[in-house]
Amino acid sequence: MTSLHRHDRSASPVGAQARQNDAVGADAVVRCAQTPPGTGKDGTTPLAALPLQDRPGARLSGSCDLDTRQTLSAALGVVIGIPGPVVHLDLSAVAFLDTAAVAALVQASAALNGEGRRLLLHDPPYSLRKVVEMFPDECAALEVAA
d(CA 93, CA 137): 26
- Among left, alpha and beta (phi > 0; psi -120 to 50; other), residue 46 is beta
pLDDT of 106 strictly over 80: yes
Residue 27 or residue 68, greater confidence: 68
What is the per-residue pLDDT across 12-58, written as a single tens digit (0 to 9) for each? 343 433 344 443 444 445 444 444 444 445 555 689 999 999 999 99
Confidence of residue 140 (pLDDT cuts 50, 70, 90): very high
Question: Contact, 56 vs 20, CB < 8 A?
Answer: yes
Q: What is the pLDDT of residue 17?
A: 39
CA distance 77 to 56: 14
The pLDDT tens digits of the residues spanning 79-99 come to 999 999 999 999 999 999 999
Ramachandran quadrant class, 141 (left: phi over 0; alpha: psi -120 to 50; beta: rest): alpha
What's the distance, CA 114 to chain centroid?
17
Cα separation, 83 vs 66, in Å, equals 29
Q: Which tops the pLDDT comparison, 5 or 12?
A: 5
pTM: 0.74
Indicate the pLDDT class of residue 146, thresholds 50, 70 and 90. confident
